[in-house]
Amino acid sequence: MQIKQKLEYPFWKTPHFFCISLLISIKLLKTGILTILIENKIFNRKIEFILKIFNFFFENKNEKEIGIKLLQCLINLGPGYIKFGQALSTRPDLVGNTICESLKNLQDNVKPISTSSARNIILNENENFLKENLTSFNENPIASASVAQVHTGILKTGKKVAIKILKPNIQENLFKDFIFFYWLAKCFEFFLPSLQRLKLSKNVEVLSEVSLNELDLTLEASAADELAENFKNHPSYKVPKIYWEFTTKKMLVLEFIDGIRIDDLISLNYNNHDIKKITEVGTEVFFLQVFRDGFFHGDMHPGNILIDRNGALVPIDFGIMGRLNNKDRQFLALLLTHLLNKNYKKVVEIHFEANMLGSEISHDHLSQAIRAISTPILNKPIGEVSLAKLLGQILGLSKKFNIEVQPQFTLLQKTMLMAEGVTRQINPNINMWDLSRPLIDKWINDTHDPFKILDEWFHKNKLILLKIPEIINKIDHILTKK
């Protein structure tokens, strides 16, 4: 079934959704989070004034209390909102360090399902696994998030494994949230036609489709397998082994990694890990995933990245993965390069060449607007520069300059925000984009090398080229008969 069909809702549900939106708004306001967002100057003056009116009755200056209330609110609202909170937990620039610390509990510390339910799920998926393949099974989960929870066990071979199981009714609960988000996006597009170019509903479709991978653990296993193949020769990035013989749609069995969370600086320093090297490897891996492979980890919150005893980075969740075709990668590489070089006219040019601008748009005016929003960000201290935030602000110009927003970059922007957030948490004096700049420049040069382009063309059309002699012989045979 198409993802759009899954998100469609009957018209008669509109009053129901409207009531839900009001209730959710009140619940979020009561946490006091709006106070933090207003103080951090997230919105323009006009919107900020309106929000201050709404926030008058709910203002709260205690960040720790706000964090606890927001955490509980998102958990109660459902798995879709938990995912939103996971992304927010990597953004201290938006909500502050205290609230981020509270929201980190959403990454792997959500209330688990009961032991009996977990056992029943495993038995239903593989009746003999617990009895015949394991010598021990830890009934207490080591992690529990919005969609799944993880237990550990010891195989009869002596290998320790992580056993990930989907929570009951998770597809129904998750899509209940996504359908509401879809309705909300459609409402914005209907009542505010100027927002249609942001393709909000299309973005919900993209994120919903990506999340489907989380609801079939064989797809997650396949994603891990592909990522492992891409990095099989990388010494500092290790993907856990998948035990395919035990893996099903609702149960994933993989190698257990005894590691330290990437944001646990106390433990990393205690175990003499090189924080600078970890940052450099993380940046290189992000670049290779996005630009070299066009296949990237789309849920890079700190709970999903461990450091093993050898200092290697180990991803442990592959439910959300993103893809970019070569055309998208080239556009992104040029965009980041021109932004870092502060060449704003080139930024406008590549948008035009990608058919993202209307012919009536003044390139000079758009270039000036991009300079106005870029300069304050790019002139910050190196550890505070956020290209992901800058990209978001450039997308914000879409209303004024009729920029066609590309939905395929939605997940990537979220991933960039998470990657920047993680980097800033563990090493605030290093900017990941400064580290990746020479890699991006080299990639651009390589992809525009005419000999390499010719070689790739020959490789893609090898089968057709091999048939040319056969075609010539057939033509010659026909001509000879005549």
Q: Which residue has the higher pLDDT, 257 or 350?
A: 257
- Give the whole-angstrom CA distance, residue 230 versus residue 415: 19
DSSP-derived secondary structure letter, 402: T
- The DSSP secondary structure of 123-172, one letter per residue, reads HHH-TTIIIIIEEEE--S-SEE-SSEEEEEEEETTS-EEEEEEEPTTHHH
What is the per-residue pLDDT across 53-99, written as a single tens digit (0 to 9) for each? 776 776 767 778 888 888 888 888 888 888 778 767 766 666 777 88
**235 pLDDT more than 90:** yes
**325 pLDDT more than 90:** no
pLDDT confidence of residue 251: 95
What is the per-residue pLDDT across 357-415, written as a single tens digit (0 to 9) for each? 777 788 888 899 889 888 887 777 656 667 777 776 776 666 567 666 666 676 777 78
pLDDT confidence of residue 270: 94
Mean pLDDT of all residues in 467-471: 64
Listed in sequence order, the residues at least 6 apart from 200 whose beta carbon sits closer than 8 Å to its beta carbon are 185, 188, 189
**182 pLDDT more than 80:** yes
Lowest mean pLDDT among 42-46, 122-126, 158-162, 429-433: 42-46
Sheet with 260-261, side-by-side order of all strands: 260-261, 305-307, 313-315
**Amino acid at the residue 8:** E
pLDDT confidence of residue 453: 45
Mean pLDDT of all residues in 311-317: 93
Lowest mean pLDDT among 22-26, 98-102, 156-160: 98-102
What is the per-residue pLDDT across 247-297, written as a single tens digit (0 to 9) for each? 999 999 999 999 999 989 999 999 999 999 999 899 899 889 988 999 999
- Give the whole-angstrom CA distance, residue 434 versus residue 441: 11
Among 425, 448, 430, 436, smallest CA distance to 336 is for: 436
What is the per-residue pLDDT across 415-438, written as a single tens digit (0 to 9) for each? 887 788 788 788 877 777 777 778
Residue of 108, 299, 317, 434 marked active site: 299
Residue 441 falls in the annotated catalytic set? no
Element (H, E) at 295: strand 295-297
pLDDT confidence of residue 268: 94
Listed in sequence order, the residues at least 6 apart from 104 whose beta carbon sits closer than 8 Å to its beta carbon are 89, 263, 302, 303
471 falls in which pLDDT band (50, 70, 90)? low
